[in-house]
Structure 1
Amino acid sequence: MVFILGVNFPERSLVKKSLENFFGIGPATSARLMARFYIHPTCKVAQLANKQVLDLTAALSEMRIENDLRRKVLDDIKRMRETGSNRGRRHALGLPVRGQRSQNNINTAIKLNRVDRKL
């Protein structure tokens, strides 16, 4: 097991997929991090040197990921609701926010925005 930011990853998993397990890190960010520390895209976690693990941990600790990012997103939604913007109202009602059709495709938005209405 290899620990990155206090999370242990199996040794046979790919580094790219392990990085993408963190909230706020997608394929592009993980590829950029791997290129920055000269890690091959098919490299497994067990093949990383200790220095690479420490460098990855240091880089991830500087980024806004996991709980910090979740808190920021919720604060942004709360701010939009308080100012009464159109996006804030649609968040509060559980409707699609980014211009999707609401006649047919509203069911998914209602499922996803249900948590936000209780704030």
Structure 2
Amino acid sequence: METLKTQQKSLESFFGIGQHTSARLLGRFHIHPTAKVGDLANKQVLDLTAALSGMKIENDLRRQVLDDIKRLRDTGTYRGRRHAVGLPVRGQNTRSQIKTAVKLNRVDRRL
């Protein structure tokens, strides 16, 4: 796997922006992936900032994820109960993989 580029890696430091979104933003504003932040033109920085401000990232996204989990817990769904107990939510097996099960079951119960 090739190493991440400078600009792409710095965009991925935001919560909610991964490799794909970062590459699309750089391509959209014609920014070379190896360019440093100090080398960018003012217009590129302003355009990139405007695009990031229009996206749901960092605290807004974290709050939305926590609200979604809280909603699942409040409605009493299977996924909500698994979140509350601290067990795997997406169907991972905990019976035959004892190391993972012991690690996950040791977590304090959050009800």
Using structure 2 for the length normalisation, give the TM-score: 0.84
- Show the counterpart of 1:106: 101
Change (3 A) 1:49 1:109: farther
Structure index of larger Rg: 2
CA RMSD of aligned residues (A): 2.2
Q: Which has the higher strand share?
A: 1
- Show the counterpart of 1:37: 29
For structure 1, the residue ranges without an aligned partner over 5 or more in a row are: 1-12
Rounded to whole Å, the distance in 1 between the matches of 2:34 and 2:105 is 39
Deviations 1:14-39 (A, max 9, x none): 21111111100000000010010001
Partner amino acid for 2:32? H
Q: Secondary structure at the match of 1:117?
A: coil
How many residues end up aligned between the 2 structures? 104
Name segments (4+ residues, structure 1) moved above 6 Å: none
- Show the counterpart of 2:110: 117
Matching of residue 93 in structure 1 with residue 89 in structure 2: no
Identify which range, 86-95 or 100-109, moves more after superposition: 100-109
Q: Is the 8 A contact 1:22 1:66 kept in 2?
A: yes
Partner amino acid for 1:91? H
Partner amino acid for 1:85? T
Rounded to whole Å, the distance in 1 between the matches of 2:8 and 2:42 is 17
Rounded to whole Å, the distance in 1 between the matches of 2:36 and 2:105 is 39
For structure 2, the residue ranges without an aligned partner over 5 or more in a row are: none
Partner amino acid for 1:38? H
Q: Is the 8 A contact 1:15 1:45 kept in 2?
A: yes
Percentage identity across aligned positions? Answer: 65
Rounded to whole Å, the distance in 2 between the matches of 1:20 and 1:110 is 32
Q: Is the 8 A contact 1:24 1:65 kept in 2?
A: yes
